[in-house]
Amino acid sequence: MTVERSTARTFLFIQIVLLLWWAAFYPGLFSRDSALYLTHTLEGPWVSDHSVLYDALLWLSVKATGEVGVVTFLQTTAMAAAIAFLAQELKRLGAPRLPTTIAAVLLPFAPPFGAFAVTFWKDVPFTACVIAITAVTARIAKDRGPTRATLVGLGAAMLGAGLFRANGFLVVAIMVVVLLVIGKGARARLAATGLVAAGVPVLLTHLVLPQVGIVPPSRTFVYHTAYGDIAVAWKERTDLFTTQDVALMAEIAPLERWWRGANCNTINPLIWREDFDWRRSDELAPQVMALWQRILMEAPDQVIKTRLCRGAIAWRPGADRWSEGGETYHFSHRWFTWEYVGPYAIERHPELESFNLSPLSAPLNDLATRWLWASYEPDLDWLVWRGPIWCYASYLALAVAAWLRGNRWVFGIAAAMIGQQTAVLANISAQDFRYMASPIFIGFLMLPLLVRFWRAGRG
């Protein structure tokens, strides 16, 4: 059987399994963020604090069909295609065909993949793009350098990653740096591809979209992790704060809120509370950022320590189960949109009820729910729901393989993982599994290739 024929069959099988998840959780799992993606498009003005492209897909689905199930259907197709594509390219590179195919068709049964694919999060198409980037870099590794076709494919997948996540451009930029270090003889072409892919989303957000009435994200939303750094510093290093600093903070939220919100694992207890004044925070954002910059200069260790704690989902294999906010966040499990946005929002926008769970099969829903909850076993968390261990294993194996084969491009397969891990470590808000989902899926699919490389090295 040819690789292409095997790829088509793999895609079809994965799609069928994901459609079972889709039927079980129709139209899809959702969270407060999911509802917010659609709310602002219905009442206006549109804002670009998440992904305008993903918001537009939800809006078009509602306007065209009256519901949002089309979006999660498309997500299952995109995720199935991305995994089938990556499996194909790993086989071309030398991964054993049967074990790689088995890994690919087993993956959609795993709750982190199956339930994730049918969740209304912009992170799902973003993850599909990251998987596609990894597949393209595997083809580049096989060819020992990029061709015109692979550069186009790489640019398209990178552009998608930048359009589906606000910090996607940062992930793309780091990926490109990794490839530039590796890619002697192709650096100009890689740099140009990366510049376009990372630059277009930034230009759209700040220059183009405002011209058509799409409002840029609020300053508080953009700088929210800095607010978290300030709160933790206020609790741990009060000597860094002047009377004017304290007065500034008090204008935005009661000092008790800053104290209670001083959690290095997550910024949620600080900014997502009623006594935190977002309007005043936006007005005072320049002064707040000046305070943060001063703390960074005077006590860089304090800021770095806080960022390492909040970015633990990117580097620490195990969750901190004994610390508030330290556990891995998986999915929301509410059935009705009003539980997130309130009944008044539903009265104004009945379309929001299209998120309400309405399984196409009660037995499938019961089975999928039991399987999903079983995967929440704390002792499995490091392996099933967190990406770092998959990153580290892949980096080691790919580095050894690149050295043994004398092909530096093999390590380039890790570029997407490195980009995502580094970006999340630098700037993230909470211990959410979705922020590091792609390394889990990529690492699992690479297992047969890594085993072959490992055996080759030992032999």
Span 167-177, average pLDDT:
89
pLDDT at residue 50 in the model: 85
If one compares 184 and 159, the residue with the highest pLDDT of the two is 159
C-alpha torsion angle, residues 207, 213, 218, 221 (rounded to 10) = -80
Which DSSP string corresponds to 39-79? HHHHHS--B-SS-HHHHHHHHHHHHHHSSSHHHHHHHHHHH
Contact 387, 437 (CB under 8 A): yes
User: What pLDDT, on a 0 to 100 scale, did the predictor assign at position 79?
Assistant: 97
Give the tens place of pLDDT for each residue, 264-275.
899 989 988 888
Give the pLDDT score at 342. Answer: 79
- Give yes or no for residue 453 having a pLDDT over 80: no
Q: How far does the chain reach from its first CA to its final CA, in angstroms?
A: 29
Assign 457 a pLDDT band (cuts: 50, 70, 90): low
What pLDDT does 170 receive? 87
Q: What are phi and psi of 119, to 5 degrees?
A: -110, 140
Averaged pLDDT for residues 409-437: 91
**Coil/strand/helix, residue 329:** strand
Cis peptide before 439 (omega within 30 of 0): no
Alpha carbon separation from 367 to 24, 344, 389 (Å, rounded) = 8, 34, 29
pLDDT of residue 3: 58
- Per-residue confidence at 43, pLDDT binned at 50, 70, 90? confident
- Under the banding of pLDDT at 50, 70 and 90, the label for residue 221 is confident
Which pLDDT value is given to residue 274?
85
Tokens of 271: 């900014």
**Which pLDDT belongs to residue 354?**
86
Task: Note the helical H segments in 107-167.
Answer: 111-117, 123-143, 148-164
- Average pLDDT score over residue span 381-402: 90
Give the mean model confidence (pLDDT) for residues 164-182: 89
Query: What integer best gives the mean pLDDT of the chain?
Result: 90
Cα–Cα distance measured from residue 132 to residue 369, given in angstroms and rounded to the nearest whole number: 29
Separation of alpha carbons 240 and 210, rounded Å = 38
What does pTM read for this prediction?
0.93
Residues contacting 246, CB < 8 A, separation 6+? 255
Report residue 382 CA to chain centroid gap: 17
- The predicted model gives 195-202 an average pLDDT of 89
The predicted pLDDT at position 253 comes to 93
**DSSP assignment letter at 217:** P
Model confidence pLDDT, tens digit, residues 349-373? 888 888 899 999 999 999 999 999 9
Phi, psi (rounded to 5 degrees) for 293: -65, -35
pLDDT tens digits along 304-335: 999 999 999 999 998 888 888 888 998 888 88
Tell me: pLDDT of 212 over 90. Answer: no
Average pLDDT (402-418) is 90
pLDDT, tens digit, for every residue of 91-144?
998 888 999 999 999 999 999 999 999 999 999 999 999 999 999 999 999 999
Q: Residue 437 half-sphere exposure, CB side, CA atoms within 13 Å?
A: 29
Find out whether 449 and 396 touch, Cβ atoms under 8 Å: no
pLDDT, residue 455, reads 62
- Given this model, what pLDDT does residue 115 score? 96
pLDDT at position 95:
86
The pLDDT score that the predictor gives to residue 344 is 77
**Three-state DSSP class for residue 27:** coil
pLDDT > 70 in the chain, percent: 98
Average pLDDT over residues 18-41: 91
Average pLDDT over residues 236-262: 92
Supply the pLDDT for residue 2.
59
72-76 — which CB contacts under 8 Å span 24+ positions? 72/22, 72/26, 72/27, 72/28, 72/117, 72/118, 72/119, 72/120, 73/19, 73/22, 75/28, 75/117, 75/118, 75/124, 75/125, 75/128, 76/15, 76/18, 76/19, 76/21, 76/22, 76/117, 76/118
